[in-house]
Amino acid sequence: MTAGTGDGGSSPRVAVVMTPHWESASEEGWITRQVAGALATVADVHVVTPEGTSAGVSTDSVFTLHRLGTPIDPVSEISRDLLLEGMVGTASVGLASASGLVALSTRGLLAPWDGAAGVLAALSPEVVVIAGTDTLGARRAVDRYDPTAHVVLLALDGHRSHGAHRGDGGDGPGTSGDLVTRSRSVLVVTEDEGMGLPGDPAGTGVVVRRIGAPLSASPSARTEPNTWVGDTGYILVLTDVAEEADNEPAALARLLRLRFPDPPVGIVHSDAFCAWHRGRVTRGWAVERTSDLHRLMAWARVTVDLRPGRLFARRCVDSLLFGTPIVVPADSRGREHAERGRGGLWFSDPAELTWCVDALLDTRAHDAFALQGRAYAEEEYGSTDAFVDRVLAGCGLPAVDVRHVAG
């Protein structure tokens, strides 16, 4: 670990990351760990989480992990998520109902963080990163420790779909908007995430910084194609649902393999991989390893992600890094990569889905979108050094020239 020192030069910098879930396989969990890793280049990073069956301190890689042993009840989180999802589709929420909604959305989410104030007092961190605009209990703990502490919010706002406003019930105390305005800066992964954040950060002087993510295209993925679809210029469809499921992604996948019988269509279900060609199917086992998915992306003609990751649609960026254009739902986070990154197209209904895929099978359109998308992905997501610099700048910490230190 390359921990830096404070202005005095003797004591090491200390940064604290407060997250409700540390070892999560979700995009939110992954990017939280990446941000903590970036901070670890200049500071001792302490992770504080309510998880754990009992309170304790342990070491996790370069991080010091403080488990409070007061895990958040999953029911409370599900209730909050359902409430937020419901409010996403609401044009406005009246003030009269706002306080009730806030109380409802935070029920059971604050108390698990009560032990964090003591941990903060013991560490005296230079900067506190709170992961998630919904992590209101962490904000309360920070205020108990020091109301003037340097707080950076890692938004992780995956509740809003593209272009929709969250409407979290006002900006009063104890709301997500309050947490945003309490922070000195807000880190967002995508531009879309930064738009429409609760609490009007622009009006209150809060700096919103886009940090992207550190991703790369593994060269080994291009060495050999997948054996079920080979090097056939296939359409890759990512569904995240079971093969026999009866829902929208499954129906759209069926539409694609019927509508495009000639180029093979490889469909990644949660329980199987199906390669369709001229009405016949070859079934393989489920794609569980990231390396297998990357290999499929690297050799595909176009990647259709019917359920992009809700935070920053990581699979779409991966596909663009391999030079494979994407087709994504219009109301998903993947749309930013298609629209701003010019790496693909987006659809609002099944008809548009078929047009988009058909258009990208054309060589000229495919090559143009592939080049544009790869350039965008490499520029904004393809450099770990740039990611570290953006995170440190967002947290107000000076970057360390690793080459200088090594020399």
What residues form DSSP beta bridges with 237?
267, 304
Residue number, 55 or 365, with CB nearest to other proteins: 365
Any contact of residue 362 with other proteins (CB under 8 A)?
no
Report the run of H or E that residue 145 belongs to, with start and end: helix 136-145
In angstroms, rounded to a whole number, what is the distance separating the alpha carbons of residues 153 and 188? 9
Identify the CA nearest to 60 among candidates 95, 29, 94: 29
In angstroms, rounded to a whole number, what is the distance separating the alpha carbons of residues 404 and 338? 38
Identify the CA nearest to 356 among candidates 316, 376, 334, 326: 326
Of the candidates 286, 368, 386, 393, which one interacts with other proteins according to CB under 8 A? 368
| Contact (CB, 8 A) for 338 and 344 | yes
Any contact of residue 289 with other proteins (CB under 8 A)?
no
Give the range of 87-95, 160-168, 263-271, 358-366 binding other proteins by CB under 8 A: 358-366
In angstroms, rounded to a whole number, what is the distance separating the alpha carbons of residues 233 and 363? 11
Give the range of 53-61, 93-101, 108-116, 253-261 binding other proteins by CB under 8 A: 253-261
- How wide is the angle at C-alpha 333 spanned by C-alphas 261 and 274, nearest 5°? 30
Identify the CA nearest to 168 among candidates 81, 109, 77: 81
Residues 369-388 that bind other proteins (CB under 8 A): 369, 371-372
Residues that bind other proteins (rule: CB under 8 A) add up to a total of 29
Any contact of residue 339 with other proteins (CB under 8 A)?
yes
DSSP 88-113: HT-S---HHHHHHHHHHHTTTTSGGG
Of the candidates 85, 349, 379, 385, which one interacts with other proteins according to CB under 8 A? 349
Of the candidates 351, 385, 396, 398, which one interacts with other proteins according to CB under 8 A? 351
Any contact of residue 279 with other proteins (CB under 8 A)?
yes
From residue 298 to residue 337, the character string flagging contacts with other proteins as x (rule: CB under 8 A) and all else as - is ----------------------------------------
Rounded to the nearest whole angstrom, what is the least distance from the CB of residue 16 to other proteins in the complex?
A: 41
Any contact of residue 234 with other proteins (CB under 8 A)?
no
Residues 129-188 that bind other proteins (CB under 8 A): none
Identify the CA nearest to 245 among candidates 268, 275, 262: 268
What residues line the site for other proteins (CB under 8 A)? 255, 258-261, 278-280, 338-339, 342, 344-346, 349-352, 354-356, 359, 364-365, 367-369, 371-372
